[in-house]
Amino acid sequence: GMFCSALAGQAGRRVLLIDNGKKPGRKILMSGGG
């Protein structure tokens, strides 16, 4: 979700990203992708 919304935003799309976690992107960091 976060990666896809970043790409869409760079392509000029309007994006609203809602992350329910305490820290956005936490799962990405835990998996080693951040």
Cβ atoms of 2 and 19 closer than 8 Å: yes
Please report the pLDDT score of residue 18 as a whole number: 87
Distance between CA atoms of 8 and 23, rounded to whole angstroms? 21
Please report the pLDDT score of residue 33 as a whole number: 55
Q: pTM of the prediction?
A: 0.54
Please report the pLDDT score of residue 20 as a whole number: 80
Distance between CA atoms of 11 and 33, rounded to whole angstroms? 22
Distance between CA atoms of 29 and 23, rounded to whole angstroms? 10
Question: Model confidence over 1-34: pLDDT tens digits?
Answer: 888 999 999 999 999 988 887 777 676 666 665 5
The count of domains in the chain is: 1
* Residue 25 belongs to domain spanning: 2-31
SS (H, E, C) 1-33: CHHHHHHHHHCCCCCCCCCCCCCCCHHHHHHCC
Please report the pLDDT score of residue 14 as a whole number: 95
